[in-house]
Structure 1
Amino acid sequence: MHISVFCSAADLDDRYTAPAREFAELIGKGGHTLVWGGSESGLMKVMADGVQAHGGRLVGISVEFLAAKARKNADEMVITKDLAERKAQLLARADAIVIMVGGTGTLDEATEILELKKHGMHTKPVVLLNAAGFYDGLKQQFQRMDAEGFLPLPLADLVFFAEDGVGAMAYLEESAGIQ
């Protein structure tokens, strides 16, 4: 399975990196491919290092203005012209999407992925990995949107909130029919 992970390129506290390492190990040991932003820094590096160390493949999707920060030893590295093309490639090359902790860029990517799913532009499973309760506020907002009729499909059909990597992987494997 090709799993696109959207996450921060910032160096973060262990409460965020530990769940990332756990999830990366599950991706690698499961023989899956990480499709990610291609960066050799922050949480992106943590994910790539973990997947690679446990036997998984790496497909990076970087962007021209960040190409100098791209990982050199990925199995494949694509350099796009802009962020819009990057997001499109991250979605196109994925069987499933996992949104991990991040800043405005990650939030932008997450909302676009969910908006496209809402409109039927893809049916791929989407997980928000809620490490250390990072997305509690967003989850509450989505629940309100659902309760007040702002979503054309049930929230549970749009996104799954996982509290840890084990829960995220179990959901993805169940959604993909992997036993």
Structure 2
Amino acid sequence: MNITVFCSAADLDDRYTAPAREFAELLGKGGHTMVWGGSESGLMKVMADGVQENGGRLVGVSVEFLAAKARRNADEMIVAKDLAERKAGLLARGDAVVVMVGGTGTLDEATEILELKKHGLHTKPVVLLNTAGFYDGLQQQFRRMEAEGFLPLPLAELVFFAEDGASALAYLESAAASR
């Protein structure tokens, strides 16, 4: 399975990097391809290293203004002209989406992917990997949106909140098997 992963390019502490390494190992050993932003820094690098070290493939989708920071030994690297083209490329190349911890860029990617899914423009499974409770506040907000009628479909059909990489991958593999 090609799994698009959105995550931070920032250097983070062990409470985020250790679970990322574990998830990357699961992806690699499972024979999956990680489609990611292509960066050779931060959590993106942690994930890419772990996937490659464990036999998985890497497909990067970078962007022109960050191309100098792109990983050189990915199996494939695409360079988009702008962020909109990059997001579209990341979504197009994945069979499923996992959103890990990150800043405003990651949040932008997550909300766009969810908005497209809400409108039926894709049906790919989407997981928010809630490492160390990072997305607890967002999960609470989504539940409120659902309860107050802001979501046209049940939250459970829009996104799955996983507490760890094993449950994220189990959900994705189950969703793929039922398609």
TM-score bracket, shorter-length normalisation: over 0.9
Deviation at 1:31, TM superposition (A): 0.3
Q: Determine the structure 1 residue equivalent to 2:123.
A: 123
Q: Determine the structure 1 residue equivalent to 2:77.
A: 77
Counterpart check, 1:34 vs 2:34: yes
Q: Secondary structure at the match of 1:105?
A: helix
RMSD: 0.7
Moved over 2 A (4+): none
Q: Determine the structure 2 residue equivalent to 1:101.
A: 101
Q: Determine the structure 2 residue equivalent to 1:91.
A: 91
TM-score, length basis structure 2: 0.99
User: What letter matches 1:115 in structure 2?
Assistant: E
Q: For each residue in 1:51-106, what CA deviation from the matched residue of structure 2 results, as whole angstroms up to 9, or x when unmatched?
A: 00000000000000000000000000000000000000000000000000000000
Count of aligned residue pairs for this structure pair: 178
Q: For each residue in 1:124-178, what CA deviation from the matched residue of structure 2 results, as whole angstroms up to 9, or x when unmatched?
A: 0000000000000000000000011100000000000000000000000000018
Q: Determine the structure 2 residue equivalent to 1:10.
A: 10
Gaps of 5+ in 2: none
Q: Determine the structure 2 residue equivalent to 1:163.
A: 163
Partners of 2:50 and 2:100 lie apart in 1 by 15
Partners of 1:107 and 1:19 lie apart in 2 by 19
User: What letter matches 2:64 in structure 1?
Assistant: E
Partners of 1:114 and 1:154 lie apart in 2 by 12
Q: Determine the structure 2 residue equivalent to 1:59.
A: 59
Partners of 1:113 and 1:80 lie apart in 2 by 18
Gaps of 5+ in 1: none
Partners of 2:166 and 2:74 lie apart in 1 by 24
Q: Secondary structure at the match of 1:20?
A: helix
Q: Determine the structure 2 residue equivalent to 1:140.
A: 140
Partners of 1:96 and 1:13 lie apart in 2 by 27
Q: Determine the structure 2 residue equivalent to 1:112.
A: 112
